[in-house]
Amino acid sequence: MTSTQTTTTILRTLTVVVAMAVAAALAMASAGDAMADKEGHHKKRPPAPAPVQGPIIAFTSSRDGNDEIYKMNEDGSNQTNLTNNAASDTQPEVSPDGTKIAFVRRDYDATDTKAEIFVMNVDGSNQMNVTKNEAADDLTPSWSPDGSKIAFTSTRDGNPEVYTMDATTGDNQENITKNPARDGDPSWSPDGVTIAFDTNRDGNSEIYFMDSHGHNPYNLSGNPAADFGVSWAPDPYVNRANRAFTSYRDGNSEIYEMSYLGLYQWNLTNSAALETDPSYYGDGTKIAFTTDRDGNEEIYVMNRDGTSPKNLTNNSAGDYDPDWGRGSAASTAGSATSSPASSE
C-alpha cells in the first residue's frame, strides 16, 4: 500500500469515527430531552419576540353613536375603538414614540361640560386628564418632538390662546401667545424650535409661526381667505415644502402645502369636496386627511403631491381628525440635513 493510500484510509477512518461520535451525542441529547419531558421538566426555549407595532393612524369616529378615538393600521385595517366612553372624544394626537395618544374629552352629561385634554396609552388604557381645568375649554393637543411637552389651545384667558404644558403630568401650563386675537391649533416643528398655529390677528384666519416660547410671530399664509389647521412636515426642507394646511381660497376647503416662509403655496387636493385635517406620514411621503367626497366624512390618504387618493375608513358614520403616528417610521422622519434657506 502506498503512502497516499495509507493517508486516504486514515482520513476515511477518522471521518467515520467523528460521524459516529456526533450521532451518539445527538442520540444521548434526544434521550435526555425525552426523559426530562417524561419527568415534567420541559425544555426551556427563548421567548418569542414581541410583535412590532408599525405606524398607525388615530382618528375620530361617530360610528358608535358618539365621538370616539379609534386607531387603524396605515392601510385602513384593524379599526379599533380605544376610548369606549359615553363622553365625546376627539382630536387625537399620537406621541412621537408611538406609545401614547393625547385627545380631547367633553362630557355633555356631566356638570362640567368643558373640554379637557387627556392622555392614554396607544391601546386605550390608562386614560388620564392632564389639563384639569374646569373653567375653560382646552383643545387641539400637539406633542413636542421629544415628547416632553404638549402645546394646546385654551380659552381660560377669555379668548383662545396657545399654551404649553408638561406632557405626562400637565404641570407648568403657560400661555405663550398672550394676544387679544384668537390663537390656536398649534403644530410643533420637527426640531422643536418653532410652533405653527392659526390666528385671526390680521382680521381673518392665517397661518403663523413663532418660536416655542411665543416670540417673533410671523404670518406665513398672507391670504384674504381663511387658512387654518396647519400640520408640520417631518422632513421640512424636502422640495422646500414645510407645512400642510387647509384653505378656503378656492371657494371650498382644500389641502395646501407651503414653503418655508410661505412664499410658495400650492393646492394638493383640487376637489369640489370638503378636505381638511392634513397629517403627514412619518417619512413625509404621504398625507392623511378628511374628505366628504363620498358623501360623508372619511379618512383618505394620498401621495404627498396629491396623487393616488385612497379611502381608508369606508364607513357610513363620520370619520375625521386623522393623526398619523410615526411608530416605526420615526427613524426616517426629519432625516434631511439641509438647513432652511434664509430667503426664498
Q: For residue range 109-131, what is the model confidence (pLDDT) as tens digits?
A: 877 789 999 999 999 999 999 99
In terms of Cβ atoms closer than 10 Å to its own Cβ (0-12, 13-18, 19+), residue 318 is middle
Q: Are 65 and 108 in contact (CB under 8 A)?
A: no
* d(C-alpha 64, C-alpha 86), whole Å: 10
Give the model's pLDDT for residue 211. 96
Give the model's pLDDT for residue 45. 53
* d(C-alpha 302, C-alpha 324), whole Å: 13
Residue 46 has pLDDT above 70, yes or no: no
Give the model's pLDDT for residue 108. 87
Q: Which amino acid is at 235?
A: D
Give the model's pLDDT for residue 110. 78
317 contacts: CB under 8 Å, gap ≥ 6: 61, 62, 63, 296
Give the model's pLDDT for residue 334. 34
pLDDT: is 31 or 249 the higher one? 249
* d(C-alpha 338, C-alpha 344), whole Å: 14
270 phi and psi angles, rounded to 5 deg: 45, 55
Q: Which residues pair with 241 in a beta bridge?
A: 259
Give the model's pLDDT for residue 242. 86
Show me where the domains of the chain are located: 56-331
Work out the end-to-end distance of the chain between its first and last CA atoms, rounded to an integer number of angstroms. 90
Instruction: Cell numbers for 1, please give them.
Output: 500500500
Query: What is the reported pTM?
Result: 0.80
| Secondary structure class of 276 (helix, strand, coil) | strand
Give the model's pLDDT for residue 20. 47
Q: Are 319 and 58 in contact (CB under 8 A)?
A: no
Q: Are 169 and 132 in contact (CB under 8 A)?
A: no
Domain 56-331: which CATH number of 3.40.50.1820, 2.120.10.30, 2.60.40.3500, 1.20.1070.10:
2.120.10.30
For 259-268, letters b (16+ CB in 10 Å) and e give: bbbbeebeeb
Give the model's pLDDT for residue 304. 93
Q: For residue range 197-216, what is the model confidence (pLDDT) as tens digits?
A: 999 999 999 999 999 999 99
Q: pLDDT band at residue 8, thresholds of 50, 70 and 90?
A: very low
Instruction: Cell numbers for 120, please give them.
Output: 392614554
